[in-house]
Amino acid sequence: MRLVPIPDLDGAPTRWVSAEHVVSAQPQYLAGAQGTILVGEVKVDGMPLLRVQLGEHFEKVEAEAAFLRFIAGIDVRLIPLSDRNGAPATWVNPEHLVSVEPVYFGGTTGVNVAAEVKVDGMPLQRVALGSDLTRADAEGAFRRFLSVLEGE
């Protein structure tokens, strides 16, 4: 068993958890008096959701960078899953993937492709992988996504 730290606002560990039990991490951006308040949420098997206050940041890009530093401090391989706009929304530990399935559907001028990803203890996630592609390019986009999940 390997224990990994869950850092606080200053980067100091406040709790150690088993690395194999870290499921996901997700930022929450809230409006603050001076900018964006960042809260890091970490899902760990068998525990309530951990919420870590990561401070107020003048610009959202500063808050995004702070979140990336936060998850780097956890020291578990976390893969970003993008929202419908292509921005990373949730980072998951690929060891907790249950299934991954391609979804192909018609676009304006070609094929759109997404991956439906099921992670332990989380609702089904749909990750957009490309739009208006040829069928071969859409299949390639899904294979590249699988390679990232598999650590290749």
Tokens encoding 119: 């992670």
Taking a C-beta distance cutoff of 8 angstroms, is the pair 37, 104 a contact? no
Asked if the structure places residue 90 within a domain, the reply is: no
pLDDT (tens digit, 0 to 9) for every residue of the chain, 152 residues total? 889 888 876 777 888 999 999 999 999 999 988 889 999 999 999 999 999 988 899 988 999 999 999 999 888 999 999 887 888 899 999 999 999 999 999 877 889 999 999 999 899 999 999 888 899 999 999 999 999 999 87
Residues 15 and 71 occupy one common structural domain? yes
Residues 7 and 72 occupy one common structural domain? yes
Residues 103 and 64 occupy one common structural domain? no
pLDDT at 5: 86
In sequence order, which residues have a C-beta less than 8 Å from that of residue 126 and are 6 or more positions away? 84, 103, 114, 115, 116, 117
Final residue of a structural domain among 16, 44, 76: 76
Q: How many CB atoms lie within 10 A of CB 30?
A: 10
pLDDT at 87: 84
Asked if the structure places residue 89 within a domain, the reply is: no
Asked if the structure places residue 107 within a domain, the reply is: yes
Residues 110 and 138 occupy one common structural domain? yes
- Residue 13 sits in which domain range? 3-76
Residues 37 and 71 occupy one common structural domain? yes
pLDDT at 12: 78
pLDDT at 149: 93
pLDDT at 104: 94
Residues 68 and 100 occupy one common structural domain? no
| Nearest alpha carbon to residue 81 among 124, 44, 19, 132 | 124
Asked if the structure places residue 48 within a domain, the reply is: yes
Residues 110 and 55 occupy one common structural domain? no
Name the domain count of the chain: 2
Residues 62 and 27 occupy one common structural domain? yes
What CATH number does the domain containing 39 carry? 3.30.160
Q: Is the pTM of this model over 0.75?
A: yes
What is the residue whose two structure tokens read 């749909």?
Answer: 126
Asked if the structure places residue 124 within a domain, the reply is: yes
